[in-house]
Structure 1
C-alpha cells in the first residue's frame, strides 16, 4: 500500500479494529456507529444510516425511492437484494405514445415507479438484522421530528436543484420554506415523515404498502394522471438473487445482477484487465483514454441489453464471454480515440451509498436513491413521502429491451459492490453518481489493485467519464493531459460538478483491521471503533 503524502491536502484513511461505517453524511455515519456499539449488526447499522439520510439528504434518497444491497455474512456467501420498484400494472408504452410522448420526462407522474426501499429494509432487517426496525429507525424519526441542520454539500445541491420542486405546491411548502432552499446550518424537520417512519418502525412493510400511507401516495399520483393503484403497492416485494461476478487480476468483483448496471462495471473491468495499468507503466492521459474506450463499449451494451431480468434477451454470461471481451479489447488503440457513441440513458442522478462491516465480520454494501435530485418533485404531503422518478429510465421505443410495460422494473443505475479475494470480501464499496457508477467502480478498483492506493487515496484521485460524446474531466486534471486527450481525437469538457461520491471499507483479514474511506466530494466521513 502506498504511503500518503502528508504535505498535500487530503485526509487519512480511517482505521478501526472492531467495526466501521462509511457514508456520505456525518450524522448517518454516527447513527450507524451508535447502532454498532449498542449491539446491532452491519445490516441494522446500514439501514439506520440510510433511513437517516432520507431525512437529512432529501434530494438524494428516501422512503419514496429504491434500494439495492450486497450482503456477506461472516464466513458465508454473498447475496444480492433487488429492492427496485415496478411500473404500475396499467403502464403501457402505446398509451403514453398516444398522448404525444416520445420519452418519459423525469418530472412526469409516469416516471414514478412503486418505491422499493421500505420493502428492502424490512426484508434485510427481518432476515439478517439483529435489533429490529423499531430500534433501527429511531435516529431518522428523531431527525424528522426534531429537525436537522443542513450540511454544506447538501445545501449546495438543494439550491442548485430547487427548481425541480416548484411545479408542486406541497413540495415547495416542505422543501423550500419561505420560498427558498435552506442554507448551510439552517434547521428543517418533517413531522409527516416522522409519523410515517414511526408506523414503519412498528408495523414493517405493511405500514407503507397498505393503509393510509399507500392511499395518500396513490391519491397524490392519481390527481396528476398517474396509473398507480393500491394493488400495485400491495404487490411490491424485493427479490433475492446470486451476485454476478468477474475476475480482475486475482480478485473477483461482485455486483448485483440486472436490472442494475453492475454488469457494465464487470464488462469494463474485463476489458481493462487486458492492459498493464500498474503504477508507472502509463501516463495519466493513457489511463483516462483507456477508461473512456472501455466505457464506450460497456455502456453501449448496457443501454442495448440491460433491463428487467424477466425480459432480458441476452444473458449475463454471453455479455461477459471472454471471446466477446477479447474482440472488444482488440479494437482499442492506445493512440487514437474510437468513434464516440452517445449514451441514451438519463445523465446524472442522485443517490446515497453506505458501507458497514461489524465486529463479527458481517459486511453490507447498500445503496438507496430517488434518482434525479428531489426525484420526480412529487410530494405526498400527508405521509411526507417524496417520490422517485426511476421510471424515466424506461424507453417508449417499441421493441427496446427497456420499454415500459405492466409491472416491469426499469433499468437502474444504482449499484453496490464488493471485491473478493480467496472467497473472502476484501472491499465493500460503492461510487454514487447515476450513470457514472459503473465507470466509477472500474476506476476505483484500478486505483487500489493496479496502483496500490489505500481506499481513501483511491477515492481522492481525479475522475473522468466518457458520456454524451465527450470525456468529462474534473478540473483537478491538468490542462496538458486534456490537450493530449484531444490530440488523440477525444472531445473533452470540464465537469461542472464533482463526478460521483465514493464510500469504501477494506477488510484486512490477516491483521484484523478495517480501512475506511469517505469521498471529499461529499459531506461524509468513515468512522470505526
Structure 2
C-alpha cells in the first residue's frame, strides 16, 4: 500500500496531489524557498484538486523562519458579508443557512490574500513565477485523478444544478474518465489576472467586480465593500508541550486548540503502554476527543466577537481534570452529540534547504464548496459561511463581518527550538483526530512518518442528516476491536480498510541528524518529493 518513504538531506515537499508535489519541487529547484513553494503548491492544488480547494476558499499558513528561529501563522479566513444577519434568513423563511448556492457563499474568500502575504513575507522568486504552473494546468488541462473522479460521481446531481460547474466538471453531460484531460479555461484567465495585478485583482479589481456582480444577481450577500475591506493577518501560534516536544497550532478562529487539549489529556497516561491496535487505545482516544470537542463547541468562534479562555483551555491542570472524567476501568463510552460539519480540505508541507518550513492547509469547506461559480471567473465559491448558526445563543452565531468557527488547522512540532514534524490532514471533525493519530504514532509509538500516516484510523462524529454520532473505524482495525468497542457502548460503524472518510494526511519529519523524511497519505493522490 505504501510507496517507498523518501529520506533526504536538503529539501522535502509533501502534498495530496502528485502534480502539486512536482510543482513544489520545481519551485524549490528554481531557487525558491519554502514560502514560494507553499504558494505555488496552494495555487496548483486549487486547479488539480478542485473538489477540495480553490481560489474561492480559505487558507491557513504556519511558517518557521530559520534565520530568526520564529514560528508564525497567517490566518487567511474570510469574514461574513456586511449584509449577512440572522434576520436576513428569517425574512426568507429559513431556519438555517443553506449548504449550497449563492446564499451559502457568504464569506469573502481569503486564499488569494494569504498567498500574497506569505510570498511578501518570505518569497524569493517573482510573484508571476509562483502562479505559472497552476495557470498551465488550468489552461492546458491535467489528467483527472481517481479521487477527483470519485467525487464528481458522488456530486453529479449537485454539479448538474449549476450550468457553469456542469460545463467544466461534466463535459457533454458525462463524468470524465480517470486520466481524461480536464481543462478550466475561465479559471486560467482569472489566475492570469491575479498573476498580472497581484492581490488587488481579487479584492479591488475586475475579479472582485465579477464575483460581486454574480453574487448580487444570484441572490447572494457578498458586495464590493466586503472584498475591499478584507484583510488576513499574521498571528502568534498557540502551543503546548508534550513529552519534551513543543506542539504548535493556529489560534482561534481555528479549531487547533482542540488538538492541543487532546494531547494535554493524553500526557496523563503512559500511552506507549497501551497497544496501538487495541480496543483500549480506540476507546481512550475517542473519549478524549469527545471531551475536547465539548470545550471547542462551547467556546470556538471569531475572537474579535467573543472572548475565548485559551489560557484555561491549554493549561495542564484543566486537561488533567477532563482526563479524570474518562471511564477506563471499566471502559464506558460517554454520550456527546457533535456538530455535523464539512470535511473537504487539502493539507501540504514544505521544508527548504535553509531550514525554513511551511505547514499549510486550505479548503472550500464542502466538496466543491457552495457548488456555484462566481460568474464567468471559473472560481468555485466556498460555503464556509453555511456553518454559522442562526441561534443567537451560539458562540458561532452569524454576525456581519465575523469569521466562522474554522476547521482548518495546520500543525508543527518543534524539538529544541527547531522543526521536528510538520503535520496536517483533510477532514472537518477528523482533523484533530487524525492529527492526534499521527502525532502519537511518531511521538509515543516511535513510528516513521510513513508508518504513522498508514496506521488504521478512526473518526468520531456526525455526518449530515444523521441524528446520532458514530465511531467510524477502518476495517483494518479488525472485527474484534469493533465488537469490543460496541460492547463498551460505542456506536460503531466499520469503514473500508483504507477509507478517505478518515482524511488524507501528509507529513514531514526532520530527524536530529538532519535527515528529512516525508509521506503522503495512501488514501489520496499525493506524493512526497525530496532531494
TM-score range, shorter chain: over 0.9
Q: Which residue of 2 aligns with 1:36?
A: 28
Q: Which residue of 1 aligns with 2:475?
A: 475
**Are 1:40 and 1:131, in contact at CA under 8 Å, matched by a contact in 2?**
yes
Q: Does 1:159 align with 2:153?
A: yes
**Which of 503, 507, 513 is the equivalent residue of 1:504?**
507
Q: How does 1:26-425 map to 2 (within 5 A)?
A: 26-75=18-67, 76-112=69-105, 113-278=107-272, 281=275, 284-334=278-328, 335-346=330-341, 348-425=342-419
**1:120, 1:379 → 2: CA distance?**
21
Q: SS of the residue aligned with 1:96?
A: helix
Q: SS of the residue aligned with 1:521?
A: coil
**1:101, 1:247 → 2: CA distance?**
45
Q: Which residue of 1 aligns with 2:492?
A: 492
Deviates more, 1:81-90 or 1:103-112: 103-112
Q: SS of the residue aligned with 2:441?
A: helix
Q: Which residue of 2 aligns with 1:6?
A: none
1:279 is displaced (CA, Å) by 5.4
**1:164, 1:260 → 2: CA distance?**
28
**1:106, 1:435 → 2: CA distance?**
17
**Are 1:340 and 1:470, in contact at CA under 8 Å, matched by a contact in 2?**
no
**Are 1:356 and 1:365, in contact at CA under 8 Å, matched by a contact in 2?**
yes
Q: 1:502 to 1:279 in 2, by over 3 A?
A: farther
**Are 1:371 and 1:390, in contact at CA under 8 Å, matched by a contact in 2?**
yes
**1:404, 1:215 → 2: CA distance?**
25
**Are 2:470 and 2:492, in contact at CA under 8 Å, matched by a contact in 1?**
yes
Q: Which runs of 5+ in 2 are unaligned?
A: 463-468
Q: SS of the residue aligned with 1:40?
A: coil
Q: Which residue of 2 aligns with 1:3?
A: none
Deviations 1:417-466 (A, max 9, x none): 00111111101111111220011111110010111100010000010022
**Which of 447, 452, 456 is the equivalent residue of 1:462?**
456
Q: 1:154 to 1:108 in 2, by over 3 A?
A: closer
Q: Does 1:528 align with 2:530?
A: yes
**Are 1:155 and 1:183, in contact at CA under 8 Å, matched by a contact in 2?**
yes
**Are 2:108 and 2:226, in contact at CA under 8 Å, matched by a contact in 1?**
yes
1:407 is displaced (CA, Å) by 0.6
Deviations 1:200-257 (A, max 9, x none): 1121110111222111111211122112110101111111110001111111110000
Q: Does 1:13 align with 2:15?
A: no
Cα RMSD, aligned residues only? 1.4
Q: Which residue of 2 aligns with 1:444?
A: 438
1:31 is displaced (CA, Å) by 0.6
Q: Which residue of 1 aligns with 2:518?
A: 516
1:129 is displaced (CA, Å) by 0.8
1:505 is displaced (CA, Å) by 0.6
Moved over 4 A (4+): 279-283
1:180 is displaced (CA, Å) by 2.5
Deviations 1:172-207 (A, max 9, x none): 112211112212111111111111111111211101
Q: 1:282 to 1:141 in 2, by over 3 A?
A: closer
**Are 1:150 and 1:186, in contact at CA under 8 Å, matched by a contact in 2?**
yes
**2:494, 2:246 → 1: CA distance?**
33
**1:283, 1:56 → 2: CA distance?**
35
Deviates more, 1:472-481 or 1:488-497: 488-497
**1:163, 1:203 → 2: CA distance?**
36
Deviates more, 1:315-324 or 1:123-132: 315-324
**1:402, 1:375 → 2: CA distance?**
20
**2:276, 2:50 → 1: CA distance?**
41
Q: SS of the residue aligned with 2:507?
A: strand
Deviations 1:263-304 (A, max 9, x none): 111111111111111156565211111110011111121112
**Are 1:164 and 1:373, in contact at CA under 8 Å, matched by a contact in 2?**
no
**Are 1:279 and 1:450, in contact at CA under 8 Å, matched by a contact in 2?**
no
Q: SS of the residue aligned with 1:453?
A: coil
**Are 2:274 and 2:281, in contact at CA under 8 Å, matched by a contact in 1?**
no
Deviations 1:128-150 (A, max 9, x none): 11113200011001011111111
Give TM-score, length-normalised by structure 1. Answer: 0.96
1:324 is displaced (CA, Å) by 2.0
**1:94, 1:324 → 2: CA distance?**
38
